[in-house]
Structure 1
Amino acid sequence: MKAEIIAVGTELLLGQIVNTNAQTLSVKLAELGIDVYFQSVVGDNPGRLREAIEIGRKRADLLVFTGGLGPTQDDLTKEVLAQYLNRSLIIHEPSMDKIKALFSERGTHMVESNRKQAIMLEASEPLHNNAGLAVGVGVVQDGTAYLLLPGPPRELKAMLASSADQWLRQQIGNVKPLYSRILKFAGIGESNLEDQLLDLIEQQQETTLAPYAKEGEVALRVSVKAESEAIAEQKINAAVIQIKERVGHHLYAEQDIPIEVTIHQLLRSSRRTLASAESCTGGLFAELITSVPGSSGEFKGGVVTYTNEMKHQLLGIPLSMLEGDGAAGAVSEQTARLMADNMRQIANTDFAVSFTGVAGPGTAEGKPVGLVYIALAQREKDTAVYELKLGGDREMIRLRAVKAAQYRLWQALTQ
């Protein structure tokens, strides 16, 4: 079954609210094995809404509407669809009783427009709204199924978990559900990952591979339609084995989690500790690490030594290394190494990470924007320093530097 999601509301087109319903619906429909090929957004205009219906009907078996079921004059979804299908609108009495009871309990007057929330198309199935007042609608005509859901995300999610779920399952019959696993990679870009797996992607049949990038990380969705979860797991596992043979050294998780969560898990399981010394990243590494609940057991702390004075006073970096003729400078391999070494000794941790570089917008010490040095010190091992030449604006350079360091730390924890 092919579906199209049609979100109704001028506020969506104006960017006044974010269309989170489309994501919720796409996930739900995928779980049921329904393919979503198109998503549309249309304003509160009857002519354009009718046009969206006509277009959607030509390319989908199921049209799912969100929004336009409320009590105001611009809530037109049921009215437009009823006219398009040549069906009358009727009152769903249980919903009408619910609306009347609510106003009675509040001791307020119910205006006539509130009756709109109880209307439905004749010969359609009412979908009860356990989180609001507007009744949903499921209707099938001439081989096309139409599902009308409320716009408020809380109401939509509640209906999808109950009455709408039941109605959808009735429509799809024996369609195989879609099962997916998310693989997360670090230290490799989306295009490079795709190149390493290109033949697997091009030859995919039952099991599909789809890479997509997040800043500093790459995800790969491995999906298959199957009769049961057990069969799906077998097919996904077979694909994952092939993927690991090629890019397993970049694979940090087989679930959709950021790399800092994996780092926290590895530190905890090995009973090792971490500290950080940051300059150009301004504490971003520490912020991401401490965003993981319970990280205080493994992350002992960090310092932001933004100036040469603070690098000297807090980390003991010699001023002769930082300033003057012939000095390596703050943005250098030598400074990054000493920052990490001294931070690890001060904190008495197993690992310490340091950052020093030029995030922009201007150059520093005659060195270009995007030049960053990261260092990883670890107990009883030589400190490693990495020179990065990063692109992007100031925030992107900071984030990419942190993600590069997280990748190196993850490597060290898994060796």
Structure 2
Amino acid sequence: MKAEIIAVGTELLMGQIVNTNAQYISRGLADIGVGVYYQTVVGDNVDRIKETLAVAKSRADLIICTGGLGPTQDDLTKDVLAEVLGRKLVIHQPSYDYMENLFRTRGITMVESNIRQAYMLEGTDPLPNDTGLAVGNAVTQDGTHYILLPGPPKEMKPMFDTYVISWLTDRMGSVQPLFSTMMKFAGIGESFLEHALIDLIQAQTDPTIAPYAKEGEVALRLTTRAASKEQATEKLWPLEREIRTRLGDHVYASEDITLELEVLRLLTAANKTLSVAESCTGGQLSDLLTAVPGGSHSFAGGVICYTNRVKNKVLGVPMEQLEGPDAPGAVSEETARLLAENVRKLADADYALSLTGVAGPAESEGKPVGLVYVGIAERDAETEVVTLNLSGNRETIKLRASKTALYHLWKKIKI
């Protein structure tokens, strides 16, 4: 079954509302084995909605529309689909009775615009709205399934979960659901990952491999069809095992979690703590760590040592090391080492990370933009310093430096 999701609403095209419904519906359909091939957004315009429905019918056998079921004149979805399918709009009596009772109880007059929400296409299956007023619709005509859902997520989600999934599964027969595993990588770029796995990607059939990338992390989604989760695991594991054999030093999780969460999990499991000293990242690393609920069990705290004065006064880096014609400077291996060692002692932590470098937009101390030193200190062990040469704008460099620092700590503490 090929599905297309059509989100109706000019406010979506204007950027006033983010279309989270499509993501939610896509995930739900994948769980029952339905692939979403297209997602479309169209404004509140009769002709354009008609055109969008015609295009969708030519390439999908399941069309799910969200939005346009409300009480106002620009809520057009039901009216347009009724015209396209040659069906009348009729009152769904249970929805009307509920609405009438609700308005009467609240002492409010129910006007015609409110009643619009109780209309449905004649001869179709109603989808009750347990959290709102607009009734949904489901119908199969000429081999195409049509589903109408309200736009507000608080109404759409329960209607989809409670009524749409069962309506679809009754019509799908023996189609097997999709199961996925997400593999998360750090310390590796998307292009290098693809190069290392290119033969697997080119030969994929079932399971399939889909790469995803964002700053500082890369992910692979491995997907297969199976009758059960256990059967899916049997099919997915050989592929995951091969990927781990090739890139095990970069695979930090087999679930969709962040690197900072995994690092804090490992620290907590080992009853260890971490502190940080940040210069060029200006608190970016601390922000990542404190965004994890419960992170205080392992994250002791940090110092934003943005100026040489703070590096000297708070973390004890000698001024002669920071400044002067023959000094290594704030952006140096020597300074990264001292920052890490001293912030670890200051917080009495088991580990410490330091970051000092040039985030841009201009060079500093005669050193290029993107040069960053990461210090990694550990109680009763020799401190390591990693040199990074990063690209991108200021914000990109700060985030990449923070993620790379976490990656090197992860390598040190992983079990």
Report SS of the residue matched to 1:161: helix
For 1:143-182, list aligned pairs within 5 A. 143-182=143-182
Counterparts of 2:369 and 2:107, CA distance in 1: 65
Superposed displacement of residue 293, structure 1: 2.1
For 1:47-62, list aligned pairs within 5 A. 47-62=47-62
Partner of 1:27: 27
Deviations 1:276-318 (A, max 9, x none): 1111111111121122222222222111111111100011100
Counterparts of 2:41 and 2:135, CA distance in 1: 21
For 1:124-273, list aligned pairs within 5 A. 124-273=124-273
Superposed displacement of residue 136, structure 1: 0.3
Counterparts of 1:6 and 1:299, CA distance in 2: 44
For 1:8-407, list aligned pairs within 5 A. 8-407=8-407
TM-score by length of 1: 0.98
Letter in 1 for 2:182: I
Mark the runs of 5 or more structure 2 residues left unpaired by the alignment: none
Letter in 1 for 2:343: M
Report SS of the residue matched to 1:72: coil
Task: Judge conservation of contact 1:99–1:133 (CA < 8 Å) in 2.
Answer: yes
Counterparts of 1:183 and 1:15, CA distance in 2: 32
Counterparts of 1:70 and 1:246, CA distance in 2: 53
Count of residues paired in the alignment: 415
TM-score by length of 2: 0.98
Segments ≥4 residues shifted beyond 6 Å: none
Counterparts of 1:52 and 1:323, CA distance in 2: 65
Indicate the larger mover: 374-383 or 31-40.
374-383
Counterparts of 1:280 and 1:371, CA distance in 2: 10
Report SS of the residue matched to 1:328: coil
Superposed displacement of residue 348, structure 1: 2.1
Task: Judge conservation of contact 1:68–1:151 (CA < 8 Å) in 2.
Answer: yes
Counterparts of 2:83 and 2:118, CA distance in 1: 17
Deviations 1:233-266 (A, max 9, x none): 1111121111111111100011000011111111
Mark the runs of 5 or more structure 1 residues left unpaired by the alignment: none
Letter in 2 for 1:360: G
Report SS of the residue matched to 2:314: helix
Superposed displacement of residue 329, structure 1: 0.7
Indicate the larger mover: 281-290 or 305-314.
281-290
Task: Judge conservation of contact 1:159–1:165 (CA < 8 Å) in 2.
Answer: no
- The percent identity for this pair of structures is 55
Counterparts of 1:293 and 1:47, CA distance in 2: 48
Letter in 2 for 1:357: G
Counterparts of 2:12 and 2:295, CA distance in 1: 39
